[in-house]
Amino acid sequence: MTPTDSAQKAPAKDPWDLPDVSGMVVGVLGGTGDQGRGLAYRLARQGQHVIIGSRSADRAEAAAGELGNGVEGAENADCARRSDIVIVAVPWDGHADLLGSLTEELAGKLVVDCVNPLGFDKKGAYALKPEEGSAAQQAAALLPDSRVTAAFHHLSAVLLQDPAVEKIDTDVMVLGESRADTDTVQALAARIPGMRGVFAGRLRNAHQVESLVANLISMNRRYKAHAGLRATDV
């Protein structure tokens, strides 16, 4: 190796060397829905400071009270403003409208989109294709001043919300454009026992991760399961 080579090539960073996120405030927009409530509960149970957001501050506070573990409730804009990391767990229907209304509150924030655009008919669930490519890319387009990532798509809201379940045995695929941001989201996932955050590419590859929930729903029906995913050899 020539001196030039060694100067150019920094040693590869250990992909499991993740930051400490225990002091960060996590907001959950759509935190009164099943997915949001489940994530809020799991993170708060590990000592994370969590604020759930809703259109109605009253509803958010009521749900927060039920979740316990120090969870707070607030109106969505207030939740966004007070949080370091903001998980977007709203129904796909309201995704664009909500994020479009919070561009200022979410400026500079690390946004974690976990929305799955799906349609349902009598044959089950199927993927919807957002004009922007995916829910995460729609979020990135609507929030040019935020750091948008995507994660937490494949979790069972039933398992997340069940206090008797001690471990959530699954990997969380984390997508984003910046290593620092995806590392932070991976670290957040790893706060939950049994869960691991795994980098899974850029936002342009979010659509298939979001849509895969349709396949998990088919699995759940066939196997009467709450299917999650693990990456092997990683």
Q: Which is nearer to its own copies, 3 or 13 (CB)?
A: 13
Question: How many residues of this chain interact with its own copies, rule: CB under 8 A?
Answer: 42
Residue 14 has a CB neighbour count (10 Å cut-off) of 7
Q: Which of 50, 173, 185, 192 binds its own copies (CB under 8 A)?
A: 173
Q: Which residues pair with 85 in a beta bridge?
A: 26, 110
Q: What angle do CA 28, 34, 39 make, to 5 degrees?
A: 45
Q: Which 185-224 residues touch its own copies, going by CB under 8 A? A: 198-202, 204-205, 207-209, 211-212, 214-219, 222-223
Q: Which 5-24 residues touch its own copies, going by CB under 8 A? A: 15
Strand intervals (E) in 123-210: 124-127, 147-150, 170-176, 195-199
Residue 60 has a CB neighbour count (10 Å cut-off) of 25
State the angle between helix axes of 57-67 and 34-45 in degrees (0 to 180), rounded to the nearest 10: 50
What the block records as the tokens of 79 is 């939740």
Is 165 one of the binding residues for its own copies (CB under 8 A)? no
Residue 62 has a CB neighbour count (10 Å cut-off) of 13
Q: Which is nearer to its own copies, 58 or 179 (CB)?
A: 179
Q: How far is the CB of 17 from its own copies (least distance, A)?
A: 12
Q: Which 103-162 residues touch its own copies, going by CB under 8 A? A: 123-127, 129, 156
Q: Which residues bind its own copies (CB under 8 A)?
A: 15, 123-127, 129, 156, 169-170, 173, 175, 198-202, 204-205, 207-209, 211-212, 214-219, 222-223, 225-234
